[in-house]
Each structure stands twice: as C-alpha cells, then as structure tokens.
Amino acid sequence: MKNLLLKRFLRYVSINTESDPESNTCPSSLGQLELADLLVDELCELGIQNAHKDAFGYVWATLPPNTDKDIPAMGLIAHLDTSPDLSGENVRPLVHDKYNGKNLVLNHEKQIVMRVETYPELKMYTGQTLITSDGTTLLGADDKAGIAIIMTAVEHLCKNPHIPHGKICIAFTPDEEIGRGADQFDVEKFGADFAYTLDGGQLGELQYENFNAAFAKVMISGVNIHPGEARGKLINSMLLAMEFNNMLPENETPYHTEGYQGFYHLTSISGSVDDTLLEYIIRDHDNSTFEHRKNRIRHIAHILNEKYGGTRVQTEIRDQYFNMQNKILPVMHIVELAKKAMEVLAINPLIRPIRGGTDGARLSYMGLPCPNLFTGGHNFHGRHEFVPLESMEQAVMVILKMGEMLTNNAR
C-alpha cells in the first residue's frame, strides 16, 4: 500500500493547482481542472460508474454498498487546490527514505535546510519515509495527501469486494484555500449522512472545532499637500493606518497565540499619503469574543474619525465561516467513530481545535456534519512542508476501519 500511496501522491503534486484569490471563476485556476480530470479517470478505472466532474470543477463519485445491512452513508472529502501563499508550480518532491533524525537539506544550491532545532517534530519520524519539496515551492500535501489517502482507501475497497461496506460518497472540491470550497457544494447530490474532510495535520489529529472567521477591510483617506506648507493640514493616511493597527492588542496576533486563543492578523497593507488599505483576518473560537473582535475594529475606526474629523477611516467586515462545534455536538457519535477506529489501530487520537477552517466548517452549517481527520502533514503553506508516508498509510487504515465498524454495528 505504501508504494501505491507514494506513486499516487507524487503524481498529484506534479500538477499545479494553486488557487487564485483574484479570479472570479470556479475553479479559480486551470490546474484544478487538470487534477479533477485525472481523478475522474482514475475513479472510472476502478469501476465507479457515476464518477464525474461538474461545471464548477467538483469531482463527485459514489461507491455503492455491497451489503444489505442498513449502514449510514459516509462521505470523504478533500480539496484540489493548494495555497496561493507560496508557488505550487514545478514542485520537485524529494523522498527521504529512512530519515535519520537530523537536519534535512532540501536544496544544496540555495542552501535551504529544514533544521531540527526549528522543527523538533521531525524527530518523531526518525526511520520513516518523509516527503518534502526542494524548498523552492510548497509541497502540496495540503491537500493532495488527503486526496491520495481517499483514493487509496477507495481502490482497496474496489479491489477487495469481499470486504462489506455501506455507501461511501466521495467529493474533491476546488478553491478551499481561498474560502470558496463549499460555494457550489450540493449536499443533497452528495448523498452522505455525515462526512469527514481529510485535511488535517499530524498523525492522530481529529478535529470538530474551528475558528469563527471574518475578513476586515480598513480604508483610510488622508489629505495630501506640499510638505513645506503642511503644518496643521496634511494627514498622512499611512501614519493613520499605523495608528489604527497600534490600537489593536499587541499580544493578539498569530505569533502570540495558540490553542483556543483568537487573533487579529494583518494580511495586507498598501498605500500612499492619500489613501491606505489595511486587510485583516479575524479569528476566534468563542462566538461572543468573535463578535467583540469585529466590534473593536469598528470602534477604533470611530475613535479615529472623531479625532481627525469626517469619515477618514471606513471599515467593511464580512463573515467567512463559523465554528462547526455547534453542529457536531448533536452528532458526536461520528467523532467517537473516528476516535475508536484510531484507538483500535493503536493511534493516539489528538482531539484539538483547528486554528483555521476547512470545507467541513461550512458544510456542517449546510446540513452535512463534517469533522476533520489527519493526513499526516506538517508546516502546510510553506517551503518546509513535509508529510511522512507512514502517516498517510495510517490514515487509509482509519478510513477502512471506520467502514468496518459501521458495517459491524449495523443490522
């Protein structure tokens, strides 16, 4: 199984599926369509007759039940795109067999090294097979590891028809990394009673809580005049932007927070004396604190407008997704199913909140409860991304074990 997983994963990461936040199309990049077509072909070759790509680049497929037992339909979901934070073009994956626990040289020419002192989690995988990029691009394990895991589990069931299972629904979504993965998702068409996104990190991760998320745009207008005649007249919008940002809590940034702690994250700043634009993402697990964070942005704008007069500071705040916990708590048996499957396989379940979001967050609010399972990857979205092949194999085994447990518990 490991060799099959490796070949499949390397094939997928060779396709550039970097999403484009500036595009208005769905999917936002042509590479996602290329990968979607490849996956449809592979699913059809496995004998799944209804595998297809829709007009928006979503891949849909159903593995029919092979038993008369009344088994709930389980869904498996991963996303096609990779993050636009770092290039996904010309990915050159490196396979480090029997990793020795020391620093990993990714690129001799550019002197790109993954150091154990910076990434101590590397030590956990001594003796295993690690996959990285050459350090000039991301690897794409987020979420091509998830795709490879699902495809390998499905292939195993297709090639072993004696293994009883219920209906398994499969979907691969575009543009998750830019927050659009669920935009065109048809829950009724999918046909699952519940689902799991394969979009998590370290071996054993099981997640059913995520941030509430919002995007904030702060638009600041200044007054430009010749600096020689500026006294009492010139208002530099860039300095006003700095003043705005400095009024946010200094210790509530991603750098200072962890676990359930929320934050304000300045993602973009551009401007001149005349006009400056600040863009933030706002994150918090707690609903009331989330609302307080959004109101703080508005309140700071109000204070500065009173100080400088007029409406020099304007804000636009848009909710992006909400904490799936509210939708998962009534159906916690699907979390327990994954947890028990891991325990049977001697995998330590790491139940922890997602400091971000997945398609599963929005899908849960669309009527499809959807916790998140591990793929094994680390350091997503960056040049030091890596995934242990053994962790991917374990994820396949968790899917198969969940299917087995659902079948054994059914009447």
Which whole number is the average pLDDT over 126-132? Answer: 98
Closest by Cα among 254, 262, 324 to 290: 262
Residue 282 backbone phi and psi in degrees, to 5: -115, 130
More confident residue, 59 or 357: 59
Strand (E) or helix (H) holding 264: strand 263-271
283 CB contacts (<8 Å, ≥6 apart)? 211, 212, 213, 262, 263, 265, 290, 355, 356
E-strand stretches of 72-193: 74-79, 94-96, 104-107, 112-114, 130-132, 168-173
Quote the Cα angle for 389-390-393, to 5°. 90
Which whole number is the average pLDDT over 98-108? Answer: 95
Residues 203 and 89 grouped into a single domain: yes
Record the tokens describing residue 374, joined without a space.
Answer: 């591990």
Q: Which of 5-9, 227-231, 405-409 has the lowest mean pLDDT?
A: 227-231
Which of 271, 300, 320 is the endpoint of a domain?
Answer: 320
Residue 401 backbone phi and psi in degrees, to 5: -70, -40
Closest by Cα among 99, 100, 158 to 389: 99
Residues 141 and 170 grouped into a single domain: yes
Residue type, 151: M
Residues 155 and 28 grouped into a single domain: yes
The band of 323, judged by pLDDT with boundaries at 50, 70 and 90, is very high
Which of 320, 341, 365 is the endpoint of a domain?
Answer: 320
pLDDT of residue 103 exceeding 90: yes
Specify whether the CB–CB gap between 403 and 344 falls below 8 A.
Answer: no
Q: What are 367-382's pLDDT values in tens digits?
A: 999 999 999 999 999 9
- What is the CATH number for 313? 3.30.70.360
Residues 99 and 174 grouped into a single domain: yes
The band of 229, judged by pLDDT with boundaries at 50, 70 and 90, is confident
pLDDT, residue 226, reads: 86
- What is the CATH number for 18? 3.40.630.10
Q: Is the dihedral of CA 328, 333, 336, 340 positive or negative?
A: negative
pLDDT of residue 11 exceeding 90: yes
Strand (E) or helix (H) holding 306: helix 287-308
Residue 340 DSSP SS3: helix
Instruction: Supply the pTM of this predicted model.
Output: 0.89
Q: What are 162-197's pLDDT values in tens digits?
A: 999 999 999 999 999 998 999 999 999 999 999 999
Residue type, 211: F
Q: What are 273-321's pLDDT values in tens digits?
A: 999 999 999 999 999 999 999 999 999 999 999 999 889 999 999 998 8
Residues 397 and 361 grouped into a single domain: yes
Give dist(CA 198, CA 78) in Å, integer.
Answer: 5
pLDDT, residue 410, reads: 80
pLDDT, residue 228, reads: 87
pLDDT, residue 309, reads: 86
DSSP one-letter string for 348-391: --EE--BSS--HHHHHHHTT----EEE---BSTTSTT-EEEHHH
Specify whether the CB–CB gap between 74 and 65 falls below 8 A.
Answer: no
Residue type, 119: Y
Residues 21 and 120 grouped into a single domain: yes
Residues 70 and 158 grouped into a single domain: yes
pLDDT of residue 123 exceeding 90: yes
The band of 80, judged by pLDDT with boundaries at 50, 70 and 90, is very high
* Structural domain that includes position 73: 2-209+323-409
Structural domain total, the chain? 2
pLDDT of residue 215 exceeding 90: yes
pLDDT, residue 124, reads: 96
Which whole number is the average pLDDT over 93-116? Answer: 95
Residues 205 and 241 grouped into a single domain: no
> To the nearest whole percent, how much of the chain has pLDDT over 90?
91
Which of 289, 320, 351 is the endpoint of a domain?
Answer: 320
> To the nearest whole percent, how much of the chain has pLDDT over 70?
100
Which whole number is the average pLDDT over 314-339? Answer: 95
Residues 216 and 255 grouped into a single domain: yes
Residues 190 and 106 grouped into a single domain: yes
pLDDT of residue 232 exceeding 90: no
Termini Cα distance of the chain: 31
Residue 263 DSSP SS3: strand
pLDDT of residue 357 exceeding 80: no
Any idea which residues carry the catalytic annotation?
81, 176
Residues 217 and 348 grouped into a single domain: no
Give dist(CA 80, CA 77) in Å, integer.
Answer: 10
Which whole number is the average pLDDT over 88-109? Answer: 95
Cis peptide bond N-terminal to 27, omega within 30: yes
Strand order across the beta sheet in which 168-173 lies: 52-53, 59-63, 168-173, 74-79, 194-200, 372-374, 205-207, 350-351
pLDDT, residue 378, reads: 96
Q: How many CA atoms lie within 13 A of 27 on its CB side?
A: 28
74 CB contacts (<8 Å, ≥6 apart)? 166, 167, 168, 169, 192, 193, 194, 195, 196, 402, 403, 406
Residues 316 and 327 grouped into a single domain: no
pLDDT of residue 9 exceeding 80: yes
